[in-house]
A and B are shown apart, each in its own frame.
Chain A
Amino acid sequence: MEFFWYVVLMGILAVYIVLDGYDFGAGIIHLFFAKTEKDKKAITSAIGPFWDANEVWLIAAGGVLFFAFPTLYASSFSGFYLPLMMILWLLIFRAVGLELRGQIHHPMWEVIWDKAFGIASLLLALFFGVALGNIVRGVNLGMVENGVSTQEAHFFFLPLWNPTFSPQADQLGIIDWFTLFLGVVSSVTLTIHGANWIIYKTNSSLNAKLKEVVFKLNFVLLGLVIISLLIWHKIEPKPFHNFVENPVLWIFPLIAFIGIFGLFKVKKFKKDGLGFLFSSMFLVGGFAATTASIFPNVLPSTNAVNPSLTIYNTAAGEYGLSVGVYWFVIALALVIAYFIIQYKVFSGKMDDIGYGEH
């Protein structure tokens, strides 16, 4: 049962990353590349009807985490208190920027909300990479000092940073050079992903330029991925042991690499949706490979005193997990139905739906 809910949780998170990932990416493109009113409109129209539903996947992930792995939920949400609150504020700003911009036609009003939307998107892309970095690196569970736990074994608290910015310091922080590096990787990835979505969903004059951007950024991304593989073993001494034991897991890095290499052909694609497919593959493959590498851990411990949090020592009771399967399957079928209806109705290019106009 634990494994079932682990797969469900990771599945929901992967969907969330692909879907809200393009929202954030579109925001970054909006911030740096959209110069004319027409381009901006095309971008907001391409994400307008979807972003709200996309964020529900985050809420769903939170809900499943809460109910299936309450100890992990309690431990990580209180331990990562400050960055989570900031993610909340950024999500609010981003939504407000997107929704309020079209309500009043005044250049100053529009500038404020354009920036709020763009900057919040960029910071969120960065923060999600940092978050993944924190999970891979692990935390000081039980807040061990001098070999003694000062808290219950599964609780911790991290400040935003420590003065050394080192992922191996005694006092860890949310932001260190490793997590920040992953933040950069995720920002670049999501920029590419967002650009692909805009290419897919609009006929904007930006599209030709965006293909160029995707092509160039893809070199940057490949470089970053290679560097991250080189520094990974500093954080996790045996990053491949799960892959050695279960060779089937190689499918995830393989998918990621097909995604990244596919993107080099972005300028030759006949279908506008292909780029989006490849960047989605990179996101899902990369995310799955990362989480698979630490399985069954879900939050590693950096000290020798307290054990890592795993899917087994954080799960809820067996009965609750089993009974949850029934309603979950029904709900999932409904969700897929809504999803198909929604994307059917808003299929194709959406430059002119006039999102947020009043």
Chain B
Amino acid sequence: MEEMLFYDRMQFAFTITFHYLFPQLTMGLSLIVIYFKWKFLRTQNEQYNQATHFWMKIFALNFAMGVVTGIPMEFQFGTNWAKFSELTGGIIGQTLAMEGMFSFFLESSFLGLFLFGEKLLGHKWHFVTGLLIFIGSWASGFLIIATHSWMQYPVGYEILANGKFVLNNFSALFTNPWLWPSYLHNQAASMVTSSFVVAGIGAFYILSKKQVSFGKLFVKTGVIFGLASSLIVAVPTGDLLAKNVVKYQPVTFAAMEGIFHTEKKGSEIVLIGQPDVKDKKLDNKIAVPNILSFLTYGNWHQEIKGLDQFKEENHPTNISGLYYAYHIMVGLGTVFIGLMAFAVFQLIRKKLFETKWILWSLLFMLPFPYIANTTGWYTAELGRQPWLVYDLLRTAEGASPTVSSGNTLFTLLGFIGLYLLLGMLFLLLVGKIINKGPQTENI
């Protein structure tokens, strides 16, 4: 039983982690692509249209990867989490079915037009198809986060005698207090990823002295979008989300921050340190006193409940993993703000393109928003453990009762092999697009 649950969890974790490498770029990038197209419509400067075409190619490749790795996600609710699906399908199936009907049809119908229909449609309608793709992908994110939020903070339901959850208030799903902060946080984080990718590839073109005019355009666009989105990720969205966790999942908050013991006179904020779950302490700790109480409650001496206040059976199952995921996310988020602020400062002084160390940093930092997004999601998911539906349904109770661990391991290995291949093909092709660059001969 333990082993079965482990493989079910590993398979979902692996496939969703891989899957979300792609939508986190395409959601943000769709906005940047239509920004370039809009600039082209306004200025009629051919460079903007070529920039649109270049990022469309990267977008299309990522989108295709997102689609093919996304279908297994919808299947896995039923294949590996049958008990969970049976009990909650009437509710989470609602938002997932809406995603299919509202987003996927919109995106898939207009993607072909967007990619191949520019000549057929003319520039204005080409922009409109891009806009529709943007709306579709952001709606998709919204409905997924609505589903996620219901699992974190269930609303609008009642539980029948047979244990089934049934919906009794549809609109509650969309006024869930968990939903809006999470959604905006996630979308801003997606903007961070795409901004860093645009800026990082731009920096590559400047540093390699190849198609430098495009490099400058990309860096400029990337750092402006990057600074704005990095800030929004932290304040207000990250802050609001953390306050939600304190309010609704205090035990998760304690584990995230590594607070093993309750401090009556206010909690310190831990910057670095390794959790020792067995002895309930942090090793090699560097911390600043009372800051956490202030950030959370605006009061230096407010008491924050530590893990010692909660029953052990309700502690997150992987406290160290949760602690690290959260700290990596927050740490990287801080670095992003710093780097982007420097870059924008230099941009305003018109010295950005000569400041080599910032360009190198932008290039070097390109993968890190992916790590920050991933660890952010790990924080949310590990933080919810040991529950599938918070406080109501345990993860161990949700797995498929008839699928043996051997069969799940078989498919997990299959997914690992297949995704390894997909990942290599993706890198090969994206490398090819970047190497060719945005410039076409007839400029």
A→B interface (CB under 8 Å): 48-50, 52-53, 55-56, 58-60, 62-64, 66-71, 73-79, 81-82, 84-85, 88-89, 91-92, 95-96, 99-100, 103-104, 143, 151-152, 154-157, 316-317, 319-320, 323-324, 327-328, 331-332, 334-335, 338-339, 341-342, 345-346, 353, 355, 358
**Cross-interface CB contact of A100 among B91, B108, B429, cutoff 8 Å:** B429
**Cross-interface CB contact of A70 among B85, B425, B429, cutoff 8 Å:** B85
Nearest CB of B to A57, in Å: 9
What chain B residues lie within 8 Å of A316 (beta carbons)? 89-90, 93, 166-167
What chain B residues lie within 8 Å of A346 (beta carbons)? 112
Q: How far is the CA of A84 from the CA of B80 in the complex (A)?
A: 11
Interface residues of B in 97-148 (CB under 8 A from A): 97-102, 104-106, 108-113, 116-117, 120-121
Q: B80, B97, B168 — which one has the most chain A CB atoms within 10 A of its CB?
A: B97
Q: Is residue B64 contacting chain A, with contact meaning CB distance below 8 A?
A: yes
Q: How far is the CA of A152 from the CA of B89 in the complex (A)?
A: 18
Beyond A92-B69, A342-B109, 5 additional pairs, beta carbon < 8 A: A50-B112, A70-B93, A77-B77, A327-B98, A338-B109
Closest to A346 in B: B112
- Interface contact B167-A317, CB-CB below 8 Å: yes
7 tightest A-B CB contacts, nearest first: A70-B89, A77-B78, A67-B93, A316-B90, A317-B166, A63-B97, A78-B82
What chain A residues lie within 8 Å of B410 (beta carbons)? 82
- Interface contact A59-B168, CB-CB below 8 Å: no
Q: How far is the CA of A82 from the CA of B414 in the complex (A)?
A: 11
Q: Is residue B422 contacting chain A, with contact meaning CB distance below 8 A?
A: yes
**Cross-interface CB contact of B167 among A77, A89, A157, A319, cutoff 8 Å:** A319
- Interface contact B85-A73, CB-CB below 8 Å: yes
Assuming the A-B contacts A71-B86, A151-B402, A334-B105, are A92 and B110 also in contact, with contact meaning beta carbons closer than 8 angstroms in the complex? no
- Interface contact B109-A331, CB-CB below 8 Å: no
What chain A residues lie within 8 Å of B414 (beta carbons)? 85, 89
Closest to A100 in B: B425
**Cross-interface CB contact of B425 among A52, A64, A91, A96, cutoff 8 Å:** A96
Assuming the A-B contacts A63-B96, A345-B120, are A75 and B82 also in contact, with contact meaning beta carbons closer than 8 angstroms in the complex? yes
Nearest CB of A to B54, in Å: 12
Q: How far is the CA of A66 from the CA of B109 in the complex (A)?
A: 23
Assuming the A-B contacts A66-B77, A156-B402, A317-B166, are A77 and B112 also in contact, with contact meaning beta carbons closer than 8 angstroms in the complex? no
Nearest CB of A to B408, in Å: 8
- Contact-size category for B: 35 or more
Q: Is residue B75 contacting chain A, with contact meaning CB distance below 8 A?
A: yes
Q: How far is the CA of A64 from the CA of B90 in the complex (A)?
A: 10
- Interface contact A63-B105, CB-CB below 8 Å: no
- Interface contact A63-B74, CB-CB below 8 Å: yes
- Interface contact A85-B93, CB-CB below 8 Å: no
What chain A residues lie within 8 Å of B407 (beta carbons)? 81-82
Closest to B97 in A: A63
- Interface contact A320-B167, CB-CB below 8 Å: yes
What chain A residues lie within 8 Å of B92 (beta carbons)? 66
- Interface contact A73-B89, CB-CB below 8 Å: yes
What chain B residues lie within 8 Å of A156 (beta carbons)? 402
Q: How far is the CA of A55 from the CA of B75 in the complex (A)?
A: 14
- Interface contact B100-A60, CB-CB below 8 Å: yes
Count of A-B residue pairs with CB < 8 Å: 211
Q: Is residue B72 contacting chain A, with contact meaning CB distance below 8 A?
A: yes
From DSSP, what is the main secondary structure of chain B's interface residues?
helix
Q: A74, A316, A345 — which one has the most chain B CB atoms within 10 A of its CB?
A: A74
What chain B residues lie within 8 Å of A331 (beta carbons)? 98, 101-102, 105
Can you list 13 pairs linking A and B with CB atoms under 8 Å apart?
A: A52-B67, A60-B101, A74-B85, A78-B400, A81-B411, A82-B410, A96-B422, A143-B402, A151-B401, A155-B401, A317-B166, A320-B90, A320-B94
What chain B residues lie within 8 Å of A341 (beta carbons)? 109, 113
- Interface contact A339-B91, CB-CB below 8 Å: no
Q: Is residue B170 contacting chain A, with contact meaning CB distance below 8 A?
A: yes
Q: Is residue B68 contacting chain A, with contact meaning CB distance below 8 A?
A: yes
Interface bits B423-443 vs A (CB < 8 Å: 1, else 0): 001000100100000000000
Q: Is residue B403 contacting chain A, with contact meaning CB distance below 8 A?
A: yes
**Cross-interface CB contact of B112 among A63, A91, A339, A342, cutoff 8 Å:** A342
- Interface contact B89-A63, CB-CB below 8 Å: no
What chain B residues lie within 8 Å of A60 (beta carbons)? 97, 100-101, 104-105
What chain A residues lie within 8 Å of B429 (beta carbons)? 100, 103
Q: B109, B418, B432 — which one has the most chain A CB atoms within 10 A of its CB?
A: B109
- Interface contact A84-B98, CB-CB below 8 Å: no
What chain A residues lie within 8 Å of B69 (beta carbons)? 92
Q: How far is the CA of A42 from the CA of B121 in the complex (A)?
A: 23
- Interface contact A67-B97, CB-CB below 8 Å: yes
- Interface contact A77-B82, CB-CB below 8 Å: yes
Q: Is residue B71 contacting chain A, with contact meaning CB distance below 8 A?
A: yes
Interface bits B377-412 vs A (CB < 8 Å: 1, else 0): 000000000000000000000001111100100110
Q: How far is the CA of A53 from the CA of B69 in the complex (A)?
A: 16
What chain A residues lie within 8 Å of B432 (beta carbons)? 103-104
Assuming the A-B contacts A79-B402, A85-B414, A345-B113, are A324 and B97 also in contact, with contact meaning beta carbons closer than 8 angstroms in the complex? yes
Q: Is residue B83 contacting chain A, with contact meaning CB distance below 8 A?
A: yes
- Interface contact A73-B108, CB-CB below 8 Å: no
What chain B residues lie within 8 Å of A48 (beta carbons)? 112
- Interface contact B411-A85, CB-CB below 8 Å: yes
- Interface contact B90-A317, CB-CB below 8 Å: yes
What chain A residues lie within 8 Å of B71 (beta carbons)? 55, 58-59, 88, 91-92
Q: How far is the CA of A320 from the CA of B168 in the complex (A)?
A: 7
- Interface contact B400-A335, CB-CB below 8 Å: no
**Cross-interface CB contact of A53 among B72, B79, B108, B411, cutoff 8 Å:** B108
- Interface contact A81-B77, CB-CB below 8 Å: no
**Cross-interface CB contact of A62 among B74, B86, B87, B411, cutoff 8 Å:** B74
Closest to A66 in B: B93
Q: How far is the CA of A107 from the CA of B153 in the complex (A)?
A: 54
What chain B residues lie within 8 Å of A104 (beta carbons)? 432
Closest to A73 in B: B78
Interface residues of B in 45-74 (CB under 8 A from A): 57, 64, 67-69, 71-72, 74
